[in-house]
Amino acid sequence: MFKDLEGKVVVITGAGGGIGKSFAENFGQAKAKVVLSYRSAKHKENLEALKAEIIKAGGDAIAVQGDVSNESDIIDLIQTAVNHFGTLDIMINNAGFERPVPSHEMTTEEWKNVIDINLTGAFIGSREAVKQFLKEDKKGVILNTSSVHDTIPWPNYVNYAASKGGMKLMMETMSMEYAQYGIRINNISPGAIVTEHTREKFSNPETRAETIDMIPSRKIGEVQEVSNVALFLASDLASYVHGTTIYVDGGMTNYPAFLGGKG
């Protein structure tokens, strides 16, 4: 289905788990050459297994450890991808972090940490990818993993909501600058998705019920449902899609509190 992704060089940050890992598996199945960026050494073994899985599927992969809140790590990551595979086709800024803290108790350190990873990391990843695309005169693709919280305020997660809200206008602005070169920049905004990061919270019956109550489709999403959209947006099927956000959220962003015609 996504034939044109075969042989494409795709860098994925936050590939050690969750949505990023699913992206990696799916691009591997599409026979892409995947550069797996991960931060925590605890992911090292998983990364080896993931690499093997991608190669078995007919793709290729390397794993690169680094921290997206560290500018030189991102610059090195793109350089490693280009040195190893000869080019860059697709950059996926997926690494992200969230932890609830009421705003009045949030330290400046906690604020900055989330902004650095989620927003500044994605900006530097986008900037470096654009530089490489322009250098190669390539119609490259950039995807950012955002969130429904790029538009829905999220109490106790002010740093996260601010980072994703910022990511929306960052993407739209950069798309406006570089669409003329055929560079496509878009966001994917997942809602409540089961990953190893959220499995615990969604297995709590109360939180699960509360969450489902906010989803018109009455279902918590699967990582595969997010990956399907990433494959589409990265492929030529999306050749005229620039500067937009696809919400993969079971309808969560459509004011579910009004379900049933309330108010």
| Pair of tokens at residue 252 | 């969560």
Considering the rule CB under 6 A, would residue 94 count as an interface residue with ligand BGC? no
Is 160 noted as a catalytic residue in this protein? yes
State the minimum distance, in angstroms, from the CB of residue 175 to ligand BGC.
21
CB of 185 to ligand BGC, least distance (A): 20
Question: Which C-beta is closer to ligand BGC: that of 220 or that of 241?
Answer: 220
Q: Choose the catalytic residue: 38, 157, 160, 178.
A: 160
Please tell me the count of residues contacting ligand BGC according to CB under 6 A. Answer: 7
Please name the residue ranges forming H helices in the chain: 18-29, 44-56, 71-85, 108-114, 121-136, 158-178, 199-203, 205-212, 223-234
Q: Under the criterion CB under 6 A, does residue 192 sit at the interface with ligand BGC?
A: yes
Residue 96: name the closest of 183, 162, 177, 174 by CA.
Answer: 162
* Beta strands across the sheet bearing 245-248: 60-65, 33-38, 9-13, 90-93, 141-145, 184-190, 245-248
Write down the least CB distance from residue 184 to ligand BGC, Å. Answer: 23
Q: How far is the CB of 42 from ligand BGC (least distance, A)?
A: 20
* Tokens 């972090």, located at residue: 97
Contact status: 35 vs ligand BGC (CB under 6 A): no
Tell me if 198 contacts ligand BGC by CB under 6 A.
yes
Shortest Å distance, C-beta 64 to ligand BGC: 24
C-alpha R_g of the chain: 18
Q: Is 149 in the site for ligand BGC (CB under 6 A)?
A: yes
**In the block, residue with structure tokens 């992911």:** 43
Asked whether 35 and 24 are in contact (CB, 8 A), the reply is no
Q: How far apart are CA 92 and CA 145, in angstroms?
A: 8
Per CB under 6 A, which region of 64-72, 103-111, 144-152, 232-240 contacts ligand BGC?
144-152
φ, ψ at 164 (rounded to 5°): -80, -35
Q: Which helix (H) or strand (E) holds 95?
A: none
* Residue 58 C-beta: closest distance to ligand BGC, Å: 31
Whose Cβ is closer to ligand BGC: residue 137's or residue 206's?
206
Distance, CA of 114 to CA of 158 (rounded, Å)? 10
Question: Nearer to ligand BGC by C-beta: 21 or 149?
Answer: 149
- Give the residue with the Cβ less far from ligand BGC, 178 or 247: 247
Residue 16: what residue type? G
Does position 5 bind ligand BGC by CB under 6 A? no
Q: Looking at the DSSP assignment, which residues form a beta bridge with residue 92?
A: 12, 143
| 191 vs 256, beta carbon nearer ligand BGC | 191
The span from the CA of 124 to the CA of 121, in Å, is 5
21 lies in the site for ligand BGC, by CB under 6 A: no
> If you search the block for the tokens 């899609």, which residue do you land on?
241
**Position among 13, 69, 147, 175 found at the interface with ligand BGC (CB under 6 A):** 147
Residue numbers annotated as active site = 160
Q: Under the rule (CB under 6 A), what is the footprint of ligand BGC?
A: 98, 147-149, 191-192, 198
